[in-house]
Structure 1
Amino acid sequence: MRTLGVAAILAALTMPTLSADLTPSAIRALLEGQDATAVVRSLDESVWNGFLAHVEAGDRGWIDLVPLLAPGTDAGTSESLTISLSRALKSNPAGVLNVLAADHYSAADICGDNDIEVSLFEAVAFIDEALVKVAAVMDPALSEARNECLYALTDARISALI
Protein backbone atom coordinates (compact mmCIF):
# COMPACT_ATOMS: atom_id res chain seq x y z
CA MET A 1 0.00 0.00 0.00
CA ARG A 2 2.79 2.40 0.89
CA THR A 3 4.64 1.62 -2.35
CA LEU A 4 1.52 2.41 -4.35
CA GLY A 5 1.13 5.75 -2.57
CA VAL A 6 4.74 6.75 -3.23
CA ALA A 7 4.42 5.71 -6.88
CA ALA A 8 1.27 7.78 -7.28
CA ILE A 9 2.94 10.83 -5.72
CA LEU A 10 6.02 10.45 -7.93
CA ALA A 11 3.83 10.10 -11.01
CA ALA A 12 1.88 13.22 -10.08
CA LEU A 13 5.06 15.18 -9.51
CA THR A 14 6.65 14.14 -12.80
CA MET A 15 3.55 14.57 -14.98
CA PRO A 16 3.69 18.05 -16.47
CA THR A 17 0.61 20.18 -16.35
CA LEU A 18 -0.12 22.80 -18.96
CA SER A 19 -0.32 25.59 -16.39
CA ALA A 20 3.12 24.75 -15.02
CA ASP A 21 4.61 24.31 -18.50
CA LEU A 22 2.80 27.17 -20.15
CA THR A 23 5.25 28.46 -22.72
CA PRO A 24 4.78 29.87 -26.18
CA SER A 25 6.21 26.66 -27.63
CA ALA A 26 3.75 24.57 -25.59
CA ILE A 27 0.85 26.57 -27.04
CA ARG A 28 2.33 26.27 -30.54
CA ALA A 29 2.60 22.50 -30.06
CA LEU A 30 -1.07 22.38 -29.11
CA LEU A 31 -1.93 24.40 -32.22
CA GLU A 32 -0.08 21.91 -34.45
CA GLY A 33 -2.45 19.13 -33.44
CA GLN A 34 -5.76 21.00 -33.27
CA ASP A 35 -7.48 24.17 -34.37
CA ALA A 36 -7.47 27.39 -32.36
CA THR A 37 -11.00 26.86 -31.04
CA ALA A 38 -10.08 23.50 -29.52
CA VAL A 39 -6.91 24.92 -28.00
CA VAL A 40 -8.67 27.91 -26.44
CA ARG A 41 -11.41 25.65 -25.06
CA SER A 42 -8.79 23.32 -23.57
CA LEU A 43 -7.23 26.11 -21.52
CA ASP A 44 -8.83 26.42 -18.11
CA GLU A 45 -9.45 29.84 -16.61
CA SER A 46 -6.19 30.02 -14.68
CA VAL A 47 -4.14 29.01 -17.73
CA TRP A 48 -5.99 31.50 -19.93
CA ASN A 49 -5.44 34.25 -17.35
CA GLY A 50 -1.75 33.33 -17.23
CA PHE A 51 -1.57 33.62 -21.00
CA LEU A 52 -3.26 37.03 -20.86
CA ALA A 53 -0.86 38.19 -18.14
CA HIS A 54 2.11 37.31 -20.37
CA VAL A 55 0.53 39.19 -23.28
CA GLU A 56 -0.20 42.21 -21.09
CA ALA A 57 3.38 42.15 -19.79
CA GLY A 58 4.50 42.55 -23.38
CA ASP A 59 6.33 39.26 -23.73
CA ARG A 60 6.96 39.02 -27.48
CA GLY A 61 6.60 35.23 -27.73
CA TRP A 62 3.17 35.47 -26.15
CA ILE A 63 2.07 38.46 -28.24
CA ASP A 64 3.03 36.51 -31.36
CA LEU A 65 0.54 33.81 -30.33
CA VAL A 66 -2.40 36.22 -30.26
CA PRO A 67 -3.16 36.05 -34.01
CA LEU A 68 -2.98 32.26 -33.86
CA LEU A 69 -5.42 31.94 -30.95
CA ALA A 70 -7.77 34.83 -31.78
CA PRO A 71 -9.79 32.87 -34.36
CA GLY A 72 -10.64 30.33 -31.64
CA THR A 73 -12.01 32.80 -29.12
CA ASP A 74 -15.61 33.51 -28.22
CA ALA A 75 -16.95 36.96 -27.31
CA GLY A 76 -15.62 36.92 -23.73
CA THR A 77 -12.19 35.51 -24.45
CA SER A 78 -11.88 37.74 -27.50
CA GLU A 79 -12.57 40.83 -25.40
CA SER A 80 -10.05 39.79 -22.75
CA LEU A 81 -7.46 39.15 -25.46
CA THR A 82 -8.07 42.57 -27.01
CA ILE A 83 -7.76 44.30 -23.62
CA SER A 84 -4.53 42.45 -22.81
CA LEU A 85 -3.06 43.36 -26.18
CA SER A 86 -4.12 46.96 -25.63
CA ARG A 87 -2.46 47.05 -22.22
CA ALA A 88 0.73 45.66 -23.80
CA LEU A 89 1.05 48.95 -25.70
CA LYS A 90 2.85 50.33 -22.64
CA SER A 91 5.28 47.44 -22.25
CA ASN A 92 5.89 46.34 -25.85
CA PRO A 93 4.41 48.78 -28.34
CA ALA A 94 6.47 47.38 -31.22
CA GLY A 95 5.16 43.86 -30.58
CA VAL A 96 1.57 45.08 -30.57
CA LEU A 97 2.14 47.20 -33.67
CA ASN A 98 3.57 44.14 -35.38
CA VAL A 99 0.25 42.35 -34.79
CA LEU A 100 -1.60 45.39 -36.14
CA ALA A 101 0.69 45.62 -39.17
CA ALA A 102 -0.13 42.04 -40.06
CA ASP A 103 -3.83 43.01 -40.20
CA HIS A 104 -4.89 40.75 -37.35
CA TYR A 105 -6.66 43.57 -35.54
CA SER A 106 -7.60 47.11 -36.37
CA ALA A 107 -5.99 50.03 -34.58
CA ALA A 108 -9.43 51.01 -33.27
CA ASP A 109 -9.73 47.57 -31.60
CA ILE A 110 -6.41 47.74 -29.79
CA CYS A 111 -5.59 51.44 -29.49
CA GLY A 112 -9.13 52.70 -28.98
CA ASP A 113 -11.08 52.96 -25.76
CA ASN A 114 -11.66 49.34 -24.72
CA ASP A 115 -10.77 49.13 -21.03
CA ILE A 116 -14.05 49.64 -19.19
CA GLU A 117 -12.71 48.63 -15.78
CA VAL A 118 -10.79 51.82 -14.98
CA SER A 119 -11.64 55.33 -13.89
CA LEU A 120 -11.53 58.27 -16.30
CA PHE A 121 -8.28 59.46 -14.71
CA GLU A 122 -6.68 56.02 -15.11
CA ALA A 123 -7.89 55.76 -18.70
CA VAL A 124 -6.43 59.13 -19.67
CA ALA A 125 -3.15 58.36 -17.86
CA PHE A 126 -2.92 55.03 -19.71
CA ILE A 127 -3.64 56.68 -23.05
CA ASP A 128 -1.02 59.36 -22.41
CA GLU A 129 1.61 56.76 -21.55
CA ALA A 130 0.65 54.61 -24.55
CA LEU A 131 0.84 57.65 -26.85
CA VAL A 132 4.43 58.30 -25.77
CA LYS A 133 5.45 54.62 -26.09
CA VAL A 134 3.79 54.11 -29.47
CA ALA A 135 5.18 57.38 -30.86
CA ALA A 136 8.69 56.21 -29.95
CA VAL A 137 8.48 53.19 -32.29
CA MET A 138 10.56 54.19 -35.30
CA ASP A 139 10.64 50.92 -37.27
CA PRO A 140 9.69 51.87 -40.86
CA ALA A 141 7.84 48.58 -41.30
CA LEU A 142 5.55 49.57 -38.41
CA SER A 143 5.04 53.23 -39.34
CA GLU A 144 1.57 52.78 -40.83
CA ALA A 145 0.36 50.72 -37.86
CA ARG A 146 2.00 53.26 -35.48
CA ASN A 147 0.25 56.19 -37.14
CA GLU A 148 -3.13 54.43 -37.10
CA CYS A 149 -2.64 53.53 -33.44
CA LEU A 150 -1.64 57.10 -32.56
CA TYR A 151 -4.78 58.37 -34.28
CA ALA A 152 -6.98 55.85 -32.41
CA LEU A 153 -5.31 56.68 -29.07
CA THR A 154 -5.79 60.41 -29.67
CA ASP A 155 -9.40 59.84 -30.60
CA ALA A 156 -9.92 57.70 -27.47
CA ARG A 157 -8.37 60.43 -25.31
CA ILE A 158 -10.61 63.12 -26.76
CA SER A 159 -13.68 60.91 -26.38
CA ALA A 160 -12.79 60.14 -22.75
CA LEU A 161 -12.44 63.83 -21.90
CA ILE A 162 -15.64 64.98 -23.60
Structure 2
Amino acid sequence: MSRYMLIMRSSAEAEAAMAEANIDFDQIIEQMGRFNEELIKAGVLLAGEGLTGPEEGFVVDFNSDPPVVTDGPYTEAKELFNGFWILDVSSKEEAKQWAQKIPLGKGVKVEVRRVSETEEFPQDNPWVQKEIQWKADLAEKIAAQARADADKFASR
Protein backbone atom coordinates (compact mmCIF):
# COMPACT_ATOMS: atom_id res chain seq x y z
CA MET A 1 0.00 0.00 0.00
CA SER A 2 1.09 3.58 -0.64
CA ARG A 3 -0.05 6.81 0.89
CA TYR A 4 -1.17 9.63 -1.38
CA MET A 5 -2.09 13.20 -0.45
CA LEU A 6 -4.93 14.77 -2.42
CA ILE A 7 -4.61 18.54 -2.15
CA MET A 8 -7.68 20.60 -3.05
CA ARG A 9 -6.78 23.86 -4.81
CA SER A 10 -9.37 26.52 -5.49
CA SER A 11 -9.26 29.57 -7.72
CA ALA A 12 -11.13 32.87 -7.94
CA GLU A 13 -13.08 31.26 -10.81
CA ALA A 14 -14.22 28.48 -8.46
CA GLU A 15 -15.25 30.94 -5.75
CA ALA A 16 -17.26 32.97 -8.30
CA ALA A 17 -18.95 29.84 -9.66
CA MET A 18 -19.93 28.78 -6.12
CA ALA A 19 -21.38 32.21 -5.36
CA GLU A 20 -23.24 32.28 -8.67
CA ALA A 21 -24.68 28.79 -8.15
CA ASN A 22 -25.93 29.91 -4.71
CA ILE A 23 -25.37 26.41 -3.30
CA ASP A 24 -26.31 25.99 0.34
CA PHE A 25 -23.27 25.30 2.54
CA ASP A 26 -25.12 22.39 4.16
CA GLN A 27 -25.35 20.81 0.70
CA ILE A 28 -21.58 21.14 0.25
CA ILE A 29 -20.98 19.55 3.65
CA GLU A 30 -23.35 16.71 2.75
CA GLN A 31 -21.59 16.04 -0.58
CA MET A 32 -18.16 16.03 1.07
CA GLY A 33 -19.50 13.94 3.94
CA ARG A 34 -20.79 11.31 1.52
CA PHE A 35 -17.45 11.24 -0.29
CA ASN A 36 -15.53 10.95 3.00
CA GLU A 37 -17.88 8.18 4.15
CA GLU A 38 -17.15 6.30 0.92
CA LEU A 39 -13.41 6.63 1.60
CA ILE A 40 -13.89 5.37 5.17
CA LYS A 41 -16.02 2.40 4.09
CA ALA A 42 -13.37 1.49 1.51
CA GLY A 43 -10.76 1.59 4.29
CA VAL A 44 -8.46 4.05 2.49
CA LEU A 45 -8.90 7.32 4.43
CA LEU A 46 -6.07 8.08 6.87
CA ALA A 47 -6.72 11.81 7.31
CA GLY A 48 -8.63 14.66 5.77
CA GLU A 49 -9.22 18.24 6.75
CA GLY A 50 -10.60 21.44 5.34
CA LEU A 51 -8.58 24.62 5.74
CA THR A 52 -9.75 28.05 6.88
CA GLY A 53 -9.65 30.97 4.49
CA PRO A 54 -6.41 32.75 3.59
CA GLU A 55 -7.26 35.70 5.83
CA GLU A 56 -6.43 33.47 8.81
CA GLY A 57 -3.12 32.29 7.38
CA PHE A 58 0.28 33.65 6.50
CA VAL A 59 3.20 32.90 4.20
CA VAL A 60 6.83 32.64 5.29
CA ASP A 61 9.18 33.61 2.43
CA PHE A 62 12.71 32.29 2.79
CA ASN A 63 14.15 34.45 0.00
CA SER A 64 15.26 36.88 2.73
CA ASP A 65 17.33 36.50 5.85
CA PRO A 66 15.53 36.59 8.19
CA PRO A 67 12.50 35.09 6.42
CA VAL A 68 9.65 37.52 5.73
CA VAL A 69 6.17 36.73 7.07
CA THR A 70 3.17 38.02 5.10
CA ASP A 71 -0.32 37.76 6.55
CA GLY A 72 -3.18 36.56 4.34
CA PRO A 73 -5.11 37.03 2.21
CA TYR A 74 -2.60 36.59 -0.58
CA THR A 75 -3.51 38.77 -3.52
CA GLU A 76 -0.67 37.35 -5.63
CA ALA A 77 -1.92 33.78 -5.28
CA LYS A 78 -3.88 32.40 -8.23
CA GLU A 79 -4.86 29.23 -6.37
CA LEU A 80 -5.30 28.48 -2.69
CA PHE A 81 -5.15 25.19 -0.83
CA ASN A 82 -8.59 24.54 0.68
CA GLY A 83 -8.17 21.09 2.17
CA PHE A 84 -6.59 17.69 1.84
CA TRP A 85 -7.05 13.96 2.20
CA ILE A 86 -4.39 11.34 2.88
CA LEU A 87 -5.31 7.96 1.45
CA ASP A 88 -3.66 4.56 1.84
CA VAL A 89 -4.25 2.89 -1.51
CA SER A 90 -2.76 0.07 -3.56
CA SER A 91 -1.54 2.19 -6.48
CA LYS A 92 -1.24 5.55 -8.17
CA GLU A 93 -4.13 4.45 -10.38
CA GLU A 94 -6.38 3.89 -7.34
CA ALA A 95 -5.42 7.33 -5.98
CA LYS A 96 -6.37 8.81 -9.36
CA GLN A 97 -9.74 7.04 -9.31
CA TRP A 98 -10.56 8.42 -5.85
CA ALA A 99 -9.42 11.94 -6.82
CA GLN A 100 -11.76 11.93 -9.82
CA LYS A 101 -14.72 11.17 -7.52
CA ILE A 102 -14.30 14.23 -5.28
CA PRO A 103 -17.47 16.35 -5.54
CA LEU A 104 -15.82 19.57 -6.70
CA GLY A 105 -16.75 22.07 -9.37
CA LYS A 106 -15.31 24.25 -12.08
CA GLY A 107 -12.13 26.14 -11.18
CA VAL A 108 -11.05 23.61 -8.54
CA LYS A 109 -8.08 21.29 -9.00
CA VAL A 110 -6.80 18.42 -6.91
CA GLU A 111 -3.07 17.83 -6.85
CA VAL A 112 -2.16 14.24 -5.98
CA ARG A 113 1.26 13.44 -4.53
CA ARG A 114 2.66 10.23 -3.09
CA VAL A 115 3.78 10.59 0.52
CA SER A 116 7.36 9.43 1.06
CA GLU A 117 7.71 6.47 3.38
CA THR A 118 10.31 6.41 6.14
CA GLU A 119 11.70 3.19 4.65
CA GLU A 120 12.82 5.14 1.57
CA PHE A 121 15.45 6.99 3.61
CA PRO A 122 18.74 5.65 5.04
CA GLN A 123 17.69 3.66 8.12
CA ASP A 124 21.03 4.22 9.85
CA ASN A 125 20.58 8.01 9.79
CA PRO A 126 19.96 9.28 13.36
CA TRP A 127 17.32 11.76 12.18
CA VAL A 128 15.42 9.03 10.36
CA GLN A 129 15.60 6.93 13.54
CA LYS A 130 14.25 9.89 15.54
CA GLU A 131 11.40 10.36 13.06
CA ILE A 132 10.46 6.68 13.42
CA GLN A 133 10.28 7.17 17.19
CA TRP A 134 8.32 10.44 16.85
CA LYS A 135 5.75 8.67 14.65
CA ALA A 136 5.44 5.83 17.18
CA ASP A 137 4.98 8.33 20.02
CA LEU A 138 2.39 10.27 18.01
CA ALA A 139 0.46 7.09 17.19
CA GLU A 140 0.39 6.24 20.89
CA LYS A 141 -0.83 9.75 21.77
CA ILE A 142 -3.58 9.62 19.11
CA ALA A 143 -4.69 6.19 20.31
CA ALA A 144 -4.84 7.42 23.92
CA GLN A 145 -6.90 10.45 22.85
CA ALA A 146 -9.25 8.22 20.83
CA ARG A 147 -9.76 5.98 23.86
CA ALA A 148 -10.47 9.02 26.06
CA ASP A 149 -12.94 10.38 23.48
CA ALA A 150 -14.66 6.99 23.26
CA ASP A 151 -14.93 6.83 27.06
CA LYS A 152 -16.50 10.33 27.13
CA PHE A 153 -18.98 9.36 24.44
CA ALA A 154 -19.87 6.10 26.19
CA SER A 155 -20.54 7.88 29.48
CA ARG A 156 -23.15 10.22 27.93
TM-score, scaled to structure 1: 0.25
TM-score, scaled to structure 2: 0.26
Greater relative CO (CA pairs within 8 A, separation 6+): 2
